[in-house]
Chain A
């Protein structure tokens, strides 16, 4: 009994001494931390993805607290997080459009041709050292070796039938895949965007048709038929200005190669005439 008591006393005393020491140390070594910084950090997602351009969430929190970064800098948290940070910092968050990544290629194993069979390192960036810049006949298309898949911190991009496809729901628009893609195929588009051009081949129509059945041949049909004048064809490739696009879907219907894909259902039915 006595020894149990003694053991308790010893542990208790040691614990108390350590507690007092820690207490003193926390006073002696107190570092002033910006309250706003901590509050902002607690609101941020905490993935430390680096999509904002700062080293992790704590880096962004420090920058926001100092006023060096806007409150809507975090692409992952989007509008809800920006609003919360806005109330902490006492500024209006403003409108922030939810974005998503999009791979501008749908030339999968069936639709696009290959020059040869490739077995080797599964990495898009190493294709620069492979004859012809990789097995795919199209010089602009997705090679499907998944450098973007490895780069994605949210498991939102996957290679399906040899082409990378973004899962719009899981995508947080952090931009890691954009940096990873050596072909520059991935871009950020508004989450709400309906019509997108799924090709980046800048070659002339004939050359495109030789390598892929779903390549933009720069026929200008979409440009001519767009009621909102949102489409322009430059460098033999169509571009859709998502700010002007009304999502009518006429371009997708007119496109002979079916390069313009409809992501979400059209907002309104096109006027029949």
Chain B
């Protein structure tokens, strides 16, 4: 149990997927304009990463390892994640339309989010069991949510500041996220 909590904290804060592993940066910069949408994106990422790490873990353990084709993991995981997001999208559209509308365009965006694939692959390299993998997935998703909401909050404030012309747009956002990343490195060594 302690180990699971440690994995969770390590994934969400210490080794934050965005700020110290630099995975999934495209959506980090893309949908962090408003706090509201960033929360939606964060929720969708938690949701998909959790399911994806479970399914990818099962597939790896019961199909790829017994047949000895571990090197196919990347391509298989991409396949599985893309299909999974599709099925989840259809499922939500049918049964929970309100959540489907809330997540909106974010679900398809996650299909190609490297953070999701990254977690599935990390589970393998870290030799996690399926349960540990799922906890690692949730932790990563929570870390994603924390980082993107903080950045969105800062960006909402930046809107009203006098930014030098060449830095407007993604320039200032990259600088901001770099500073956030440095701040998050303060957590290194906690675990």
- By a beta-carbon cutoff of 8 Å, the part of chain A in contact with chain B is 6-7, 10-11, 14-15, 18, 21-22, 25-26, 28-31, 121-123
Contact = CB atoms under 8 A, between A and B. Distances in A.
B87 A21 contact: yes
7 contacts: A14-B76, A14-B79, A25-B90, A29-B95, A30-B94, A31-B93, A122-B162
B36 to A, nearest CB: 13
Nearest to B82: A18
Contacts of B59: 14
Given A10-B67, A10-B72, A31-B93, A21 B160 contact: no
Contacts of B80: 14, 18
Given A11-B75, A11-B76, A14-B76, A21 B83 contact: yes
Contacts of B87: 21-22, 25
Nearest to B83: A18
Contacts of A21: 83, 87
Nearest to A24: B87
Nearest to A10: B69
B163 to A, nearest CB: 10
B91 interface: yes
Given A15-B79, A18-B80, A25 B69 contact: no
A11 B162 CA distance: 53
Contacts of A122: 162
A12 B29 CA distance: 35
A204 to B, nearest CB: 37
Interface in B79-111: 79-80, 83, 86-87, 90-91, 93-95
Contacts of B64: 10
A150 B90 CA distance: 37
Given A18-B80, A22-B83, A123 B160 contact: yes
